[in-house]
Amino acid sequence: MSFGFPLSKGTLTDVQTLSLRQHGIELDTNLTAVAYWHDKSIRWIQCQAIVCQSGAIELCNRTRLLCARVPSLVNKVDDTSKPTELFSHPKHDLSITVDLQLKGSTTPLKFVLHRHDISSNPLTQQYISDGHFEFADQQLNIQLSVIVCDYTDEISIILRAHNPNAAAHQGGKWDLGDPNSLYINDLSIVFSANHTQASVDVMDEYVPTTQHNNHCHAQGEFKLTQFGSGGRHWQSPIHWDKNRRSSVTKRGFELCVGNDRVFQGMRAQPQLTLCSIPQANIHNNKNISFTLEMEDFWQNFPTSLS
């Protein structure tokens, strides 16, 4: 069995003092620290061990129990006022959370975290987080997969959302408004990095690259929104909702800074950059930069970046 363990800041600095126990017996274990806090204490531990199918697995530091885990059912209900961190970069101060808002709902949704798994090979490390948002008698399953290349620091992020409730298809028809449908207002991947400034470069794929007006740069409080496909049939009936109203309000995209629209076009292909801001009274400031590219941004409308 292989899984990941998160630790609070300042809890531990050396995995050599740790052991895994099940039913009171110490297991043959391979423990590896894969991420650290700024104070050099361990943030994530990769645990590998041969375990029984049932029974809690205890992570101990020889003198006291740090935490416990049950392989068959590992649930953590987070405080709804705090987003659940699903990934933290093993080298840099970058974390990823997922936010969900349903149409017509103002109540924060609980997120139940099932597992964190870490696997690696000589080139990459893969982090997988599984869980679900719960509300009333329904839920939305979430899986976040992050692959980090150790040599280039490139990161691949894949978010999957799945509604486990089967559609009723009353009368054998695929009608909009099925009782088990979920109406999502916003499903976001949130990147957090301390002391950084964000900027975005946007290219309009609808305009030939030979034209000078096919791209724009913005920074600060910006928001890029792709409303529709940008094509001729952007008002097609395929975009109707259950009330036969189009869910597409505009043809292409808009880039706004504050309340001002600075650029508009048809099909946006953005590149987001997070650059560190030098801090006063801190020696050896490192200039760290993250560049994020989103595949098929305009194809997955409606979507936004801010």
| 133 and 202 part of one domain | no
What is the band of 73 on the pLDDT scale with cuts at 50, 70, 90? Answer: very low
| 156 and 76 part of one domain | yes
Beta strands 95-102 and 289-293, pairing class: unpaired
**Listed residues 153, 174, 192: the one ending a domain:** 192
What is the band of 175 on the pLDDT scale with cuts at 50, 70, 90? Answer: low
Residue 191, helix vs strand vs coil: strand
Q: How far apart are CA 56 and CA 53, in angstroms?
A: 10
| 95 and 183 part of one domain | yes
pLDDT (0 to 100) of residue 1: 67
Q: How far apart are CA 134 and CA 76, in angstroms?
A: 12
Asked if pLDDT for residue 111 goes beyond 90, the answer is: no
More confident: 280 or 245: 245
| 200 and 280 part of one domain | yes
Residue at token pair 């987003």: 83
**Listed residues 141, 170, 192: the one ending a domain:** 192
Q: Is the dihedral of CA 184, 116, 87, 65 positive or negative?
A: positive
More confident: 83 or 185: 185
Contact between residue 201 and residue 223 where contact means Cβ atoms under 8 Å apart: no
206-221 pLDDT tens trace? 888 777 777 888 888 8
Residue 217 tokens, joined:
């740069």
| 80 and 151 part of one domain | yes
In whole angstroms, how far apart are CA 97 and each of 87, 277, 303?
A: 7, 22, 17
| 72 and 188 part of one domain | yes
- DSSP secondary structure letter of residue 58: E
| 33 and 79 part of one domain | no
| 219 and 105 part of one domain | no
pLDDT (0 to 100) of residue 80: 46
| 120 and 102 part of one domain | yes
**Listed residues 37, 61, 85: the one ending a domain:** 61
| 228 and 291 part of one domain | yes
Residue 46 lies in domain: 2-61
- Report DSSP letters for 153-182, one per residue: --EEEEEEEE--SPP--GGG---TT-TT--
Q: How far apart are CA 305 and CA 200, in angstroms?
A: 9
Burial of 253 (0-12, 13-18, 19+ CB in 10 A): buried
Q: How far apart are CA 271 and CA 294, in angstroms?
A: 7
More confident: 253 or 52: 253
| 188 and 227 part of one domain | no
23-55 pLDDT tens trace? 767 777 788 888 888 888 888 888 877 777 666
| 85 and 185 part of one domain | yes
What is the band of 90 on the pLDDT scale with cuts at 50, 70, 90? Answer: low
Query: Is the omega angle on the peptide bond into residue 302 within 30 degrees of 0, that is, cis?
Result: yes
Contact between residue 57 and residue 22 where contact means Cβ atoms under 8 Å apart: yes
Rg (C-alpha) for the chain, rounded Å, is 23
- Mean of per-residue pLDDT scores for the chain: 77
Please count the structural domains in the chain.
3
